[in-house]
Chains A and B, each alone.
Chain A
Amino acid sequence: EEIRKQVQNYKAKLSPGDVLVIPAGYPVAIKASSNLNLVGFGINAENNQRYFLAGEEDNVISQIHKPVKELAFPGSAQEVDTLLENQKQSHFANAQPRERER
């Protein structure tokens, strides 16, 4: 029988003293509602790479070749690139909703 994969979303509120486990390959994003300080211990750390899915630097989606983007996403490669370039910051960004400039 065919096994279908489904995306599962896990959400958590963070407070001092909380501990979380982020499995390898699982995408994660963290928003700070006050100044937030975290300590991370990475197990199986040798040759680990941190890949970002948004922002300018270390963004793996920007590295996909244009013809592949064209096939993988509903929009055209040009539209995908325009969207990706909207986020000018890298790694950390403002999470506050703000009014559209321009």
Chain B
Amino acid sequence: VSSELEPFNLRSQNPKYSNKFGKLFEITPEKKYPQLQDLDIFISSVEIKEGALILPHYNSRAIVVLLVNEGKGNLELVGIQNEQQEQQE
């Protein structure tokens, strides 16, 4: 089955996280999708209900490119900066 290079659907399997405030579907290279293994990419679809939030989290290795498909929201990202860079004015 795994060697067939057919389109696959993110939502054809169970969500990784799901409760009444949101759902996250994800297909990772570990799940034996050769297309994703070749590219070393995971794909995910996130649904957050109005008035809810995805709790603060981070990804250990992956750089995530997020595309807003539908709806509005606010994002907060936290990084670390060297203090020296701040002095350049």
Interface residues on B, range: 35 or more
A44 to B41 CA separation, bound complex (whole angstroms): 6
- Decide if B73 touches A36 in the complex (CB within 8 Å): yes
Q: Which of B40, B44, B51, B72 contacts A13 (CB 8 A)?
A: B72
In the complex, chain B residues 53-85 whose Cβ is within 8 Å of any chain A Cβ:
53-84
B residues contacting A by CB (< 8 A) are 17, 19, 21-24, 28-30, 36, 40-84, 86
A residues contacting B by CB (< 8 A) are 3-55, 58, 87, 89-96
Main secondary structure of the interface of B (DSSP, over half): strand
Given known A37-B47, A92-B52, contact A48–B21 (CB-CB < 8 A): no
Q: How distant is A85 from chain B, measured CB to nearest CB, in Å?
A: 14
A16 to B72 CA separation, bound complex (whole angstroms): 7
- Decide if B61 touches A44 in the complex (CB within 8 Å): yes
Which residue of chain A is the closest to B67 with respect to CB atoms?
A39
Which residue of chain A is the closest to B10 with respect to CB atoms?
A39
Q: Which of B43, B48, B49 contacts A42 (CB 8 A)?
A: B43
Which residue of chain B is the closest to A59 with respect to CB atoms?
B55
Q: Which of B24, B45, B55, B84 contacts A55 (CB 8 A)?
A: B55
- Decide if B69 touches A31 in the complex (CB within 8 Å): no
Within 8 Å CB of B40, what residues of A? 43-46
Q: Which of B44, B62, B77 contacts A10 (CB 8 A)?
A: B77
Given known A11-B74, A53-B55, contact A37–B64 (CB-CB < 8 A): no
Q: Which of B54, B62, B77 contacts A45 (CB 8 A)?
A: B62
A47 to B61 CA separation, bound complex (whole angstroms): 7
- Decide if A4 touches B54 in the complex (CB within 8 Å): no
A66 to B68 CA separation, bound complex (whole angstroms): 40
